């Protein structure tokens, strides 16, 4: 672990990630002025669009012809007549629109229907809690939320890259220093690889969490208005998803405030980063050359990305594509749908949780197999 | 006893070692062969870095692969290419290796100091190794190989990089160590082992060629090695071995099966170098 912590590569990667994230945090400032205004209003009027909120909004005055006066006007329009849409929303309509839009039939159609039927309980709970009436960032909620998810997806990508580089750097350390023949002939030499994996996972994970929190701090410093709506539900009526040619609300299985959703995202991202590190370890156990191992890792990532849609296009093994779609690469790609029903690409509820858990399980087994292979592998 | 039992190692179509059978008990065994003959392959199998394609290696009747760590804790190994961490001092490096050998921390610290003294590196024990000469690095390698007081000491080209003085010291050290353990030393430098090896193991064409005492190995050339200061006078098949200058004359040592060798040259006692050159000749006899 000391070797990794002292590694200039790690420090360089962390700095590069922070710079990249700062850059992206800056360029997603599209609706900052209005969002900032909404955030300020939320600070005084609250985040729930109810009578009290409307009364507070009615009392607000802004100088004529000022940008704030326009923002106030927009906000009044945005919130005027806002209804608790979950009271009338039928989750089965999601499956229906997907089935109709893509001509889905058979077991896939049945499973999609079953999944959405199961989602109705969440809709009913949201109807009761009235979270559709949460202000979030009003008319720009979707844009801002997508910007946040984009940033989180960047973080997860960076975390995975740092993680896998840490794993490969550490398991190739003896090879790079020409100490492999000596070290692996020692009593605990080959056992060292498991210690290296644990060290790399600890350092990789700590680096990811550090980058995540530091980058979020930078993001929030650039978008301070988010703090005021931190406790708004992500399933606010202002958060709309365009899927299967229809607009629908962002419907999560459980109720999340933006604050909770950020940490839920972090949790799943950690699972993905760990999965990718295990994949890197498995490849590193099979391939001696670090650079070749990294190349094979990249190829594997591409295969994991294109395999599900490719399999889906082959009718007979369509169902397998839905299973393989739970791999960490596809999960990462579908980050914006985490904790929702996951669109027609996932047939079972809570795809992100199932995906991360099964990825960790499968890749842990693969890592174990790789380690066992290394135990009996010619090393020189 | 360490037994190599009909061991073959292949890499695809290439056979690195073929059907090798050897037994090692207490003493110094020199693996003598030119580069590429399979010495390092055998050593890597003895250190479990690689595994036999066929055959088995046994320690006191138990297969070393099955013994695993129990076997590895009994060996000390100096690889041919001794890598090290440049930013470590000898003491740090040896402490790290001691941990990997599963040695007790306090005992390892004591042993490390003792060994660094033995290899004359005590005064630089805390200096970073990046500025060390090849000979100093090799001495660190020798020290680490002795750290666990190994029952089996395996040294692959251990004298590479050592100056003549260090070479002699090393030879004496190895000679004394071989009195109560198995020492297997690979080399292509004959003088390293000529006087100290109990047994010489030679390979040719990836097969075992000889496994005998130096005296018996030399005996096979008895009556065939001569010296002359007029090599041009030889008009029969012979093989030129070595040359040296003596009183302004160039004395040539040669080997021949011809009975006329004694007519031209003076018979001499064959040494291991003669045998080495004779066996591994790569040119046709003149």
Residue among A178, A181, A187 minimizing CB distance to B49: A181
End-to-end CA distance of chain A: 25
Q: Please provide the average confidence, as pLDDT, over all residues in chain B.
A: 90
CA distance A96 to A110: 10
Q: What is the pLDDT of residues B79-127, one digit of tens each?
A: 988 899 999 999 999 999 999 999 999 999 999 999 999 998 999 999 9
Give the residue-averaged pLDDT of A133-149: 87
pLDDT at A189: 92
What is the spatial distance between Cα A170 and Cα A184, in angstroms, rounded to a whole number? 14
Residue A337 belongs to a domain: yes
Contacts of residue A6, Cβ cutoff 8 Å, sequence gap at least 6 = none
Q: What is the pLDDT of residue B114?
A: 94
Lowest mean pLDDT among A56-60, A157-161, B50-54: A56-60
- Among B47, B52, B88, the residue to mutate for chain A (most A Cβ within 10 A): B47
Distance CA A349, CA A339 (A): 9
Q: Which of A1, A170, A187 to mutate to test the interface with B (most CBs of B within 10 A)?
A: A187
**With bands split at pLDDT 50, 70 and 90, how would you rate the model's confidence at A317?**
low
Q: Nearest chain A residue to B9 by CA: give it.
A: A378
Summarised one tens digit per residue, pLDDT across range B223-258 is: 999 999 888 888 888 888 988 888 888 899 999 988
What domain range includes position A249? 2-30+141-376
In a domain, A368, yes or no: yes
The rounded percent of chain A whose pLDDT value lies above 90 is 62
Return d(Cα B40, Cα A154) in angstroms, integer.
48
What is residue A50's three-state secondary structure?
Answer: coil
Residues B188-203, mean pLDDT to the nearest whole number = 87
Determine what percent of chain B is predicted with pLDDT higher than 70: 98
Gyration radius from chain B CA atoms:
21
A7 touching chain B per CB within 8 A? no
Do A178 and B81 lie within an 8 Å CB cutoff? Answer: yes
- Specify if A219 maps to a domain: yes
**3-class SS string, chain B:** CEEEEEEEEEECCEEEEEEEEEEECCEEEEEECCCCCCHHHHHHHHCCCCCCCEEEEEECCEEHHHHCHHHHCCEEEECCCCCCCCCCCHHHHHHHHHHHCCCCHHHHHHHHHHHHHHCCCHHHCCCCHHHCCHHHHHHHHHHHHHCCCCCEEEEECCCCCCCHHHHHHHHHHHHHHCCCCEEEEEECCHHHCCCCCCEEEEEECCEEEEEECHHHHHHCCCCCEEEECCHHHCCCCCEEEEEEEECCEEEEEEECCCCCHHHHCEECCCCHHHHHHHHCCCCCCC
> CA triplet A256, A262, A267: central angle to 5 degrees?
100
Interface residues of B toward A, Cβ cutoff 8 Å, are 44, 47-51, 65, 69, 72-73, 75, 77, 79-86, 97, 99-102, 141, 144, 148
For chain A, the domain total comes to 1
pLDDT > 70 fraction of chain A, expressed in percent and rounded: 98
Model pLDDT for residues A290-305, shown as the tens digit of each residue = 899 999 999 999 999 9
Q: How confident is the model at residue B286 (pLDDT cuts 50, 70, 90)?
A: very low
A206 compared with A30, residue with greater pLDDT: A206
Query: Does A258 have pLDDT greater than 80?
Result: yes
Q: How confident is the model at residue A315 (pLDDT cuts 50, 70, 90)?
A: low
Contact of A60 with A75, CB cutoff 8 Å: no
Do the Cβ atoms of A180 and B83 come within 8 Å?
Answer: yes
B118 φψ region: left (φ > 0), alpha (ψ -120 to 50), beta (else): alpha
Question: Would you state the pLDDT for residue B48?
Answer: 96
Contact A182 B72 (CB under 8 A): no
Is A103 among the domain residues? no
Q: Does A178 touch chain B (CB under 8 A)?
A: yes
Considering CB atoms only, which of B49, B80, B102 is closest to A187?
B102
Give the per-residue pLDDT at B171. 86
- Which residue from A minimizes the CA distance to B99? A188
Task: Please give the DSSP secondary-structure letter assigned to residue A233.
Answer: B
pLDDT of residue A31: 63
**Measured between CB atoms, which of B51, B69, B85 is closest to A187?**
B69
CB contact under 8 A, A181 and B84: no
Query: Torsion angle of alpha carbons A92, A98, A100, A105, nearest 10°?
Result: -90
pLDDT tens for residues A68-121?
889 999 899 988 888 899 999 999 999 999 999 988 888 889 999 999 999 999
CB contact at 8 A, B252 and B227? yes
**Pair of tokens at residue A366:** 């693969």
Mean pLDDT in residue range A323-350: 93
Q: Is residue A56 part of a domain?
A: no
Please report whether residue A240 resides in a domain.
yes
Residue of A nearest to B45 (CA): A378
Beta bridge partners of B240: B254
Contacts of B80 in chain A (CB under 8 A): 181
The token pair that represents A187 in the structure block? 């009593």
Would A69 be classed as within a structural domain? no
Q: Which of B50, B69, B83 sits opposite A379 (nearest CB)?
A: B50
Inter-chain residue contact A185 with B102, CB threshold 8 Å: no
Residues in chain A with CB shorter than 8 Å from the CB of B51 are 376, 378
Q: B31 or A5: whose pLDDT is higher?
A: B31
Residue A133 lies in a domain: no
Predicted confidence (pLDDT) at residue A4 exceeds the cutoff of 90: no
First and final C-alpha spacing in chain B: 44
- pLDDT, residue B165, reads 85
Q: Looking at the predicted structure, is the pLDDT value of residue B283 above 50? A: no
Q: Do B83 and A189 touch (CB under 8 A)?
A: no
Which residues in chain B are closer than 8 Å to A181, comparing Cβ atoms? 44, 47, 49, 77, 79-81, 83
- pLDDT at A297 (0 to 100): 96
Q: What is the model's pLDDT at position A270?
A: 97
The C-alpha of A163 sits at a distance from chain B's nearest C-alpha, in angstroms, of 23
Nearest CB to A188; choose among B81, B86, B100: B100
Report pLDDT for B229.
Answer: 87
With a cut of 70, say whether residue B7 has pLDDT above it: yes
Binned at pLDDT 50, 70 and 90, residue B65 comes out as: very high
Q: Do A185 and B69 touch (CB under 8 A)?
A: no
The ipTM (two decimal places) reads 0.88
- Long-range CB contacts for residues B235-243, cutoff 8 Å, separation at least 24: B236/B260, B236/B261, B237/B285, B237/B286, B238/B285, B238/B286, B239/B277, B239/B278, B239/B281, B239/B285, B239/B286, B240/B286, B241/B273, B241/B274, B241/B277, B241/B278, B242/B273, B242/B274, B242/B277
Closest CA to A269 of A205, A315, A351, A317: A205
pLDDT at residue number A298:
97
| C-alpha triplet B54, B60, B61: angle, nearest 5° | 45
Segment B26-36, tens digit of pLDDT:
999 999 988 88
Distance (Å, rounded) from C-alpha A194 to C-alpha A198?
6
Report the alpha-carbon distance of residue B260 to residue B269 in Å, rounded. 17
């Amino acid at each position: 672990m000391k070797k990794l912590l002292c590694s200039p590569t790690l420090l360089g990667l962390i700095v590069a990630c922070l710079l990249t994230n700062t850059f992206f945090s800056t360029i997603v400032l599209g609706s900052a002025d209005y969002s900032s205004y909404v955030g300020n209003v939320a600070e005084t009027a609250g985040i729930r669009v109810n009578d009290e909120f409307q009364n507070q909004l009615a009392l607000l005055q802004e100088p004529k012809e000022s940008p704030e006066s326009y923002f106030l006007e927009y906000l009044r329009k945005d919130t005027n007549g806002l209804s608790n849409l979950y009271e009338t929303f039928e989750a089965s309509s999601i499956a229906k629109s997907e089935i109709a839009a893509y001509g889905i039939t058979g077991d896939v159609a049945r499973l999609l229907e079953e999944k959405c039927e199961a989602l109705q309980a969440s809709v009913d709970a949201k109807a009761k809690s009235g979270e559709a009436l949460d202000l979030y960032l009003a008319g720009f909620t979707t844009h801002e939320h997508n910007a946040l998810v984009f940033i989180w997806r960047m973080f997860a990508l960076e975390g995975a890259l740092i993680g896998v580089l840490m794993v490969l750097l550490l398991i190739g350390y003896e090879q790079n220093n020409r100490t492999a023949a000596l070290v692996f002939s020692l009593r605990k030499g080959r056992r060292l690889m498991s210690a290296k994996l644990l060290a790399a996972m600890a350092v990789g994970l700590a680096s990811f969490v550090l980058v995540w929190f530091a980058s979020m701090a930078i993001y929030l410093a650039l978008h301070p208005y988010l703090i005021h709506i931190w406790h708004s539900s992500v399933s606010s009526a202002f958060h709309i998803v365009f899927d299967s040619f229809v607009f629908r609300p962002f419907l999560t299985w459980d109720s999340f405030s933006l604050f909770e959703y950020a940490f839920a995202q972090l949790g799943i991202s950690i699972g993905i980063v760990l999965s990718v590190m295990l994949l890197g370890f498995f490849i590193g156990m099979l391939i001696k050359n670090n650079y070749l191992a990294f190349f094979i890792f990249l190829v594997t990532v591409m295969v994991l990305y294109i395999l599900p849609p490719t399999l889906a296009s082959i009718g007979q093994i369509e169902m397998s594509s839905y299973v393989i779609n739970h791999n960490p690469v596809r999960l990462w790609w579908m980050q914006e749908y985490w904790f929702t029903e996951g669109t027609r690409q996932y047939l079972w509820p809570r795809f992100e949780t199932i995906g991360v858990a099964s990825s960790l399980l499968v890749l842990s087994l693969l890592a174990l197999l790789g380690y066992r292979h290394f135990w009996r592998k010619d090393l020189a | 006893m360490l037994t190599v039992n009909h061991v073959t190692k292949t890499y695809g179509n290439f056979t690195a070692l073929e059907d090798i059978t050897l037994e090692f008990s207490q003493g110094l065994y020199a693996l003598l062969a030119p580069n590429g003959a399979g010495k390092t392959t055998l050593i890597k199998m003895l250190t479990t870095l690689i595994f036999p394609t066929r055959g088995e290696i046994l320690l006191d009747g138990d297969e070393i692969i099955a013994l695993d760590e129990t076997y590895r804790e009994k060996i000390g190994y100096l690889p041919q290419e001794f890598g090290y961490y440049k930013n470590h001092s000898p003491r740090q490096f040896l402490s790290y290796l001691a941990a990997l050998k599963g040695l007790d921390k306090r005992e390892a610290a004591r042993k490390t100091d003792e060994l660094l003294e033995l290899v004359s590196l005590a005064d630089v024990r805390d200096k970073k190794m990046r500025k060390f000469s090849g000979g100093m690095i090799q001495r660190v390698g020798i020290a680490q190989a002795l750290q666990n007081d190994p029952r089996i000491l395996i040294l692959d080209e251990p004298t590479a990089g050592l100056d003549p003085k260090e070479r002699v010291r090393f030879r004496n050290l190895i000679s004394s160590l071989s009195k109560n353990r198995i020492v297997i030393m690979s080399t292509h430098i004959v003088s390293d082992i000529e006087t100290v090896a109990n047994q010489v193991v030679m390979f040719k064409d990836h097969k075992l060629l000889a496994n005998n005492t130096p005296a018996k190995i030399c005996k096979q050339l008895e009556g065939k090695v001569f010296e002359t200061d007029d090599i041009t006078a030889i008009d029969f098949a012979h093989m030129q071995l070595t040359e040296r200058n003596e009183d302004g004359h160039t004395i040539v040592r040669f080997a021949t099966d011809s009975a006329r060798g004694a007519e031209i040259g003076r018979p001499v006692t064959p040494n291991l170098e003669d045998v080495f050159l004779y066996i591994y000749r790569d040119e046709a006899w003149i």
